[in-house]
Structure 1
Amino acid sequence: MNMLIKCHTMRVVLILFLSHFSWQVQAACSRVINAPVASLGFSVIVNGDSISGIYPDIFRNLSSKETCQFHFSAVPRARLELMFENGQADLLFPAIRTAKRDEHGFFVPLIYTRAILISLQSARPTIHSQQELLEQKNLKVVVVRGYDYGEAYQAILTELQKQGRLIIEADTVSAARVLKAGVADISIMAPYIFAGAVQGDARVEDMADKLRFDALPELNWSDSGIYLSKKSLSQDDRNALQDMMERAARSGMVWKGFLRYYKPDVLKEGNRPR
């Protein structure tokens, strides 16, 4: 009798184990996930062949616990956007949710963020609105190609371009150097991205404690997170990745990543946990 009970118990344990194993296989990504990245403050840090930062750290942490593996490669941000649109990248991150990106991917929100005016500390009066910014035609504005903070941001850039006041750079460090040299007076982007870039580059790191942040009401808080490709990922892989990232956000892993890399005063201006 005892032997029968033991055999039955072992059978139940085996069934539960196989059920759990089967679930893990179903949740697994069917292949290595192709994740090109662009340097973006401390969110993504590219140093030669080394890729680290908040988001790569999160993905590596998850890949050690889950069954999805990721391959990172460094590309310029504008190229990354194009690769995602063409189905050559499985993921796009970090990214603000926009209508254009929604055409090419499924969005998974992780935090709230916003773009603000960034400049060096000065006695210049505070700019309170988009209209005030557009009226001060002596001020030049530098932005990064490929960054997109939604329709209001794009409308501001379009008008600045018409006025001949817009400078477009390939990356955040280049934008910071233009600001430091006085060629531009203001940049528009999420403050954590700018602050992270200047802290990580010797040419502009002296700017870190001299930055001024001014919010524009037209540039509202937006969802920021990752996009999963509609073109290159199977439905099963998208489901597995979505579930993985949503659990990471709920657990606080994403926000803890930001707190590990950034000072609270930088996050206060441009980030909020979900």
Structure 2
Amino acid sequence: MAASGLSVVANGDLISGVYPEMLNQISLKKKCQFDLSIVPRARQEALFEAGQSDLLIPAVRTQKRDQSGTFIPLVQNRPMLISLKDSGVAVSRLSELFLMKDAKVVLVRGFDYGPAYQGFIRRLEAKGQPIFEADVFSVARTLKSGAARYSVLEPSVIAGAIEADMRLSDLHDKLNFEAVPELPWSENGVYLSKKTLLQGDLHTLSQLFEQVQQQQLVWKGLQRYYRKEVIADSIRPLK
């Protein structure tokens, strides 16, 4: 797993947060043991794609990931354009960033919100505008330093990082969150590996996570960990 705000919290050998808590609930009820370790998001993605891990969680559904795993949706979410309030320029579409000469954008390496997001990254790279960081905490620090003025993330992810690190607490009132038409609502959930799991295990895990879906365990966990206003515009239960 990759550290991600309050959704996945890494404190030495202790791993907590919304998703580890949900996996622990499954373990206690079904006697299914999940072995968790923390890696950067890009490495988490690479390990799953190479067939060296059984689960990719949490993850937005994409065509590329569908090649490696079976997807089970758990919530709906959407990333938003994040900007510093003192940036001086109101932006309502990602395309507007390409009209600016100094619109530095910081992103988490390995995050993928689908084709429109990947196209956005390619255009940024062509203009030399992106800064890639290993995790959300580094993105928040980059925004705080002023080295970048924009990012694209789920508000809950960066809000969780700010709450988890007191050194970032002054960012609470300095960020704008804007929904943009290029990044609509999508499904977020778990991928079960087609490469590592035996058919019986794949079937068992599919049933377990379908129960998680039906019971809305992730949505309930998000409501416990995050303030209502943090997730109001970017995460919602499955319809």
TM over 0.5: yes
The offset of 1:125, in angstroms, is 3.9
Which one is further off, 119-128 or 196-205? 119-128
Paired with 2:139 and 2:118, the residues of 1 have a C-alpha distance of: 17
Question: Alignment length, in residue pairs?
Answer: 238
* Match in the other structure for 1:161: 125
Query: Which among 49, 57, 60 is matched to residue 85 of structure 1?
Result: 49
> Does the 8 Å CA contact 1:152/1:219 hold for their aligned counterparts?
yes
Report Cα offsets for 1:159-192 as digits up to 9, x if no partner: 1111111111111111111100111001111111
- Choose 1 or 2 for highest CA Rg: 1
> Does the 8 Å CA contact 2:80/2:179 hold for their aligned counterparts?
yes
1:123 and 1:229, CA in 2 relative to 1: closer, same or farther beyond 3 A?
closer
Paired with 1:131 and 1:229, the residues of 2 have a C-alpha distance of: 35
The offset of 1:126, in angstroms, is 2.7
Whether 1:102 aligns to 2:81 is no
**Residue identity opposite 1:57 in structure 2:** E
> Does the 8 Å CA contact 2:2/2:44 hold for their aligned counterparts?
yes
* Match in the other structure for 1:232: 196
The offset of 1:123, in angstroms, is 6.7
Larger RCO (CA under 8 A, 6+ residues apart) = 2
* Match in the other structure for 1:253: 217
SS in 1 for 2:152: strand
**Residue identity opposite 1:253 in structure 2:** L
**Residue identity opposite 1:108 in structure 2:** I
**Residue identity opposite 1:39 in structure 2:** A
Which one is further off, 208-217 or 95-104? 208-217
Whether 1:188 aligns to 2:152 is yes
SS in 1 for 2:232: helix
Whether 1:215 aligns to 2:179 is yes
Report Cα offsets for 1:201-246 as digits up to 9, x if no partner: 1221221233210111010111000100001001111111111111
**Paired residues for 1:22-61 under 5 Å:** 37-61=1-25
**Residue identity opposite 1:101 in structure 2:** R
Paired with 1:265 and 1:121, the residues of 2 have a C-alpha distance of: 18
Paired with 1:110 and 1:126, the residues of 2 have a C-alpha distance of: 33
* Match in the other structure for 1:72: 36
* Match in the other structure for 1:175: 139
> Does the 8 Å CA contact 2:84/2:174 hold for their aligned counterparts?
yes
* Match in the other structure for 1:131: 95
Q: Structure 2: any 5+ residue segments left out of the alignment?
A: none
The offset of 1:261, in angstroms, is 0.7
What TM-score do the two structures reach when normalised by structure 2?
A: 0.96
> Does the 8 Å CA contact 1:178/1:184 hold for their aligned counterparts?
yes
What TM-score do the two structures reach when normalised by structure 1?
A: 0.84
Q: Structure 1: any 5+ residue segments left out of the alignment?
A: 1-36
Whether 1:272 aligns to 2:239 is no
Report Cα offsets for 1:77-126 as digits up to 9, x if no partner: 11111110111110001000011111110101000111111122237343
> Does the 8 Å CA contact 1:249/1:255 hold for their aligned counterparts?
no
Which one is further off, 198-207 or 152-161? 198-207
Paired with 2:90 and 2:166, the residues of 1 have a C-alpha distance of: 29
Report Cα offsets for 1:33-68 as digits up to 9, x if no partner: xxxx11011111011110011011001011111131
The offset of 1:139, in angstroms, is 1.2
> Does the 8 Å CA contact 1:137/1:165 hold for their aligned counterparts?
no
SS in 1 for 2:122: helix
SS in 2 for 1:259: helix
The offset of 1:137, in angstroms, is 2.7
Paired with 2:124 and 2:76, the residues of 1 have a C-alpha distance of: 26
* Match in the other structure for 1:31: none
> Does the 8 Å CA contact 2:87/2:149 hold for their aligned counterparts?
no
RMSD, aligned α-carbons:
1.2
**Residue identity opposite 1:260 in structure 2:** R
